[in-house]
């Protein structure tokens, strides 16, 4: 039975020109054990629009599905910003089209933030790196929690966008990812988020 009190999570997936990968990403979101999900895909002006391919999938498990398309290619940071602005969930999670989630990922993160309380603004996961055959090559297990500002100024202990779940209220306070950065947009955004989220809670599923 679905948890009627479960907050809505908006999952933002940016993509460009990789239809096989993005459908796999959507499938991994569809397989989540957490049920209150809004799916927001941002097509960054792919040569062939992705929406027809997405609409062929079984999307009934989602609260809502939107596919947005840029008129010109703007990059992944701008695509994530477009997705954030369209999202309506209490929490926002990100998934790159070539990444995959463990089925318990979102449920574990929402529960972690609930345990830490209203001051917790971000929950992040570890990462498992696999080869083409699905064999694990290495793993990163999260260990840092609490106020991560000083730690993040030294190194990115959080990882890629695909690991994080963020309160929408926190994003409203600090602003969108900065698309002017050619790289390290995630690191810069995490630093901006850290002093305003109070606590960053690690969870282990990815």
Q: Under CATH, domain 9-202 is a member of which superfamily? A: Spore Coat Polysaccharide Biosynthesis Protein SpsA; Chain A (3.90.550.10)
- In terms of Cβ atoms closer than 10 Å to its own Cβ (0-12, 13-18, 19+), residue 128 is middle
Evaluate whether 148 touches 157 at the Cβ level (below 8 Å).
yes
Q: Which of 19-23, 165-169, 199-203 has the lowest mean pLDDT?
A: 199-203
d(CA 64, CA 176): 22
The pTM of the full predicted model, rounded to 2 decimals, is 0.86
Token pair for 21: 């990968």
Residue 127's pLDDT band (boundaries 50, 70, 90)? confident
Q: How far are the Cα atoms of 35, 89, 125 from residue 63, in angstroms, in the given order?
A: 8, 10, 24
pLDDT over 90 at 21, yes or no: yes
Average pLDDT of 126-150? 70
Categorize the per-residue pLDDT at 1 as very low, low, confident or very high, splitting at 50, 70 and 90: very low
Percentage of residues in the chain with pLDDT exceeding 70? 81
- Stretch 193-206: mean pLDDT: 59
């Amino acid at each position: 039975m679905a948890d009627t009190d479960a907050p809505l999570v908006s999952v933002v997936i940016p993509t460009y020109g990789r239809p096989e990968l993005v459908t796999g990403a959507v499938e991994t979101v569809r397989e989540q054990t957490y049920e209150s999900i809004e799916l927001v895909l941002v097509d960054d002006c792919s040569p062939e629009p992705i929406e027809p391919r997405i609409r062929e999938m079984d999307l009934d498990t989602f609260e809502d599905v939107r596919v947005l398309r840029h008129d010109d290619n703007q990059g992944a940071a701008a695509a994530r910003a477009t997705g954030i602005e369209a999202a309506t969930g209490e929490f926002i999670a990100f998934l790159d089209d070539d990444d995959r989630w463990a089925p318990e990922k979102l449920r574990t993160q929402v529960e972690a933030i609930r345990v830490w309380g209203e001051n917790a603004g971000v929950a992040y996961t570890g990462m498992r790196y696999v080869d083409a055959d699905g064999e694990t090559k290495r793993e990163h297990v999260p260990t840092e929690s609490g106020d991560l500002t000083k730690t993040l100024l030294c190194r990115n202990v959080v990882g890629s966008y695909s690991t994080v779940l963020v309160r929408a209220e926190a994003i409203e306070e600090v602003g969108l990812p900065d698309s002017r950065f050619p790289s390290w947009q995630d690191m810069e955004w995490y630093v901006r988020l850290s002093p305003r989220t109070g606590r960053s809670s690690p969870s282990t599923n990815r």
